[in-house]
Chains A and B, each alone.
Chain A
Amino acid sequence: MKIALLGNPNTGKSSVFNLLTGMRQKIGNFAGVTVEKKSGFYTTENESVEIIDFPGTYSLNPRSVDEEVVSKALKDKNNPDYPDLIMAVVDASRIENNLFLFTQLYDLGLPMVLVLNMWDLAKKQGIQIDLDKLQACFPDITIISTNARVGIGKDRIIETISEHKKRANTRFLIEDELTEESTPHFERKRVELRKQKIQELTPSFVKKEKSQKTSKLDLFFVHPLWGYLFFLMVLMVIFQFIFSFASYPMDLIESSFLSLSEFTSSTLPSGVINDLISQGIVPGIGGVFIFIPQIALLFFFIAILEETGYLSRVVFIMDRIMRPLGLNGKSIVPLISSLACAIPGVMSTRTISNWKERLITILIAPLMSCSARIPVYTLLIALVIPERYVMGFINVQGLVLFGLYLLGIIGALLTAFVLKLLIKNKSKGFLLLELPNLKAPVWRNVGFTVLEKIKIFVFDAGKIILAISIVLWFMASYGPGDKIEKSSQSLMQSTQYQEANKEDQQSMKSSIMLENSYIGNLGKLIEPVIEPLGYDWKMGISLITSFAAREVFVGSLSTIYAVHDEREEKQKLRETMTKEKRKDGTPTYTLASGMSLMVFYVFAMQCMSTVAVVKRETQSWKWPIIQMAFMGVMAYAFALLTFLILS
């Protein structure tokens, strides 16, 4: 049996879903659109029941992509998601408002179960619902009351579903009475008629004591001073966690995969398979797992913000500020997260319901300087920026680092503005947003959200990341013809090699291997293109390898310059780089070429994992390719400009 779980947003629909299906959940997308489809299973003695958790909507008249998915699935018998039974979740404390969607669902004529959720909250607010009278209005469906938030009602819901009533062909409103014509005018008339009937009917089964006052907490959250300060504090806490605290589990994952790679390399018989596993696949999987701590932490916080209803208040106070840029009030969380890492940032745009605003947020998120850029920035700053102070106390190196971050942020916001003008919008950009009751989070739901996001990342984006990293490994380890072999032979015959100690010999070998690999050749091939920016082929190689992840740039340079000393590698690398000369004898790393390189890294999409995640979140290769292209153009143009100005 297939059940469609439907209801308004904020009715506790996902609590009901999690309650019924537990760990047996699957996440996918509805056919052809980027709307997330959650489905889950439970089994009774007799059958296996599939539940599809549809996006929350206020009406069946489609106005957004989300609503279109719902209306298509329910109105077309041939749709793969057409259900055998509708389970409608209604917030008992807002029953009159929720009845609009409910009666529309009722009029579809499918077997139906009505779950009156948040029964306790309704009671607390002095709302009394006479279940017998409500049942009398809708005689051919079963109605039950639950408190799914606290986990009450599971058995009763399952029982009700298996014993659901047959529909008696009754309707709440015969819409045909009016006319089938679907002009906006008649649509409005139909909606008004339904609403009117609901308003006439509701007093017969709902008794309400006087309305409540605006909560003091809400006045605080939207306060011109305290509201913003509180939000800033929330952002700082989140940022602190994903920026600093996530590094402990990340280091652990990194070192585990490093030892795993060493282990496979030493236990498996040496050869191509060994190399593939120990240098390609294991580090590739490690490169996927490394992101899990940041994703888990960010979604832990976002789930809490959503569960409590606070995120809606954020949109409320940020809307006016973000609107001119084509962004949503909710965009601020993904963008700040992207200052740590764009992967969880892009994934967290799911909370933005407007597709255009969500797309713009995804496209500009990688322009925010992430933590993977820090190793690149610090290496180059130490190399080309003198350690001086201006006005006695401002460190010039720190100032440059700050400038790079600022450049990224300004670049992101300006890009958003341009994209706003370029991207056409399917749905009208209005903001009708419910501010749900503030409540404590349901920890079970928070846990499910975190698990779900990790699963999406590891299985969907992970595949692409693994594939690209294997390709990159292959290109860095193998070369055209016998070039690698020949050049290593001539290296081994050189006196410099024979006089060096074993460790130096190893690094010289790696350096020669990389230089003559496919990537090495590619680096030399693109030299004419990157020469105007002040780069040579060695930097070219590092640019290509660091598409895996930006910080790889540093490791790649170490390999090329044959620097190996583990403890003082960075120090030594810096010394080698300072001594590095061009063909004409001038230093390779000057203020101009160093700054140009840093500016390049501010803008360039040097991160395959971001590409994979953007592909996953936009459901096509179109947007990641467009994104890579415009970021590449920006990187090249601004790096060129920087080099020309400074040299």
Chain B
Amino acid sequence: MNVRLSDCKIGEQIEISKIEDGAIATKLIEMGLTEKLITQIVLVAPLGDPIAIDINGFILSIRKSEANHVIVKKIKS
């Protein structure tokens, strides 16, 4: 089931399935947010935005407007 990263909840195991083309896509990939990466949201800012994800121990903060361009799959754990 594909959803957007911006709609995921803290702690859910997810797999990145696609990063939509856009100004920020390449930058995200450079920072390690690659397709097939298994990750989860580890922190959410008080107003629900931005969120932080764990990329193999590298914690990346990303605004919801950008997370909206990342399509993910939820993994049952």
Interface residues of A (CB under 8 A from B): 58-59, 61, 63, 93-94, 96-97, 100, 125, 127, 184-185, 187-188, 191-192, 195-196, 199, 208, 211-212, 214, 218-219, 222-224, 227-228, 312, 315-317, 319-321, 428, 430-436
A188 to B20, CA, bound (A): 11
Q: Which residue of A lies closest to B58 (CB)?
A: A97
Interface centre among B34, B55, B58 (most CB of A within 10 A): B58
Contact A320 B30 (CB under 8 A): no
Contact B21 A184 (CB under 8 A): yes
A196 to B34, CA, bound (A): 9
Contact A188 B46 (CB under 8 A): no
Contact pick for B34, options A127, A199, A218, A431, CB 8 Å: A199
Contact B43 A432 (CB under 8 A): no
Does B2 touch A at the CB level, under 8 Å?
A: no
Contact B56 A188 (CB under 8 A): no
Determine the main DSSP class of B at the interface with A.
mixed
Contact B66 A184 (CB under 8 A): no
Q: Total A-B residue pairs with C-beta atoms closer than 8 Å?
A: 117
Determine the main DSSP class of A at the interface with B.
helix
Contact indicator per residue, chain B 18-45, by CB within 8 Å of chain A (1) or not (0):
0001011111111110100000001111
A223 to B45, CA, bound (A): 8
Contact A223 B29 (CB under 8 A): no
> Given A96-B32, A199-B34: A191 and B56 within 8 A (CB)?
no
By a CB distance below 8 angstroms, the chain A residues around B57 are: 93-94, 97, 125, 127, 211-212
Contact pick for A94, options B43, B58, B61, CB 8 Å: B58
Interface residues of B (CB under 8 A from A): 21, 23-32, 34, 42-50, 52, 54-63, 65-66
Given pairs A97-B32, A127-B57, A317-B46, 19 additional interface contacts (CB within 8 A):
A58-B30, A97-B58, A125-B57, A188-B29, A191-B30, A211-B57, A214-B54, A218-B43, A222-B43, A227-B46, A319-B45, A321-B47, A430-B23, A430-B27, A430-B66, A431-B50, A432-B27, A433-B50, A436-B59
By a CB distance below 8 angstroms, the chain A residues around B21 are: 184-185, 188
By a CB distance below 8 angstroms, the chain A residues around B27 are: 58-59, 63, 430, 432
Contact A432 B26 (CB under 8 A): no
Q: Which residue of A lies closest to B66 (CB)?
A: A430
By a CB distance below 8 angstroms, the chain B residues around A199 are: 34
Please list the 6 inter-chain residue pairs (A to B) with the smallest Cβ-Cβ separation, ordered nearest first.
A224-B46, A435-B59, A433-B61, A320-B47, A59-B30, A97-B58
A522 to B45, CA, bound (A): 55
By a CB distance below 8 angstroms, the chain A residues around B62 are: 431-432
A191 to B61, CA, bound (A): 21
By a CB distance below 8 angstroms, the chain A residues around B45 are: 222, 316-317, 319-320
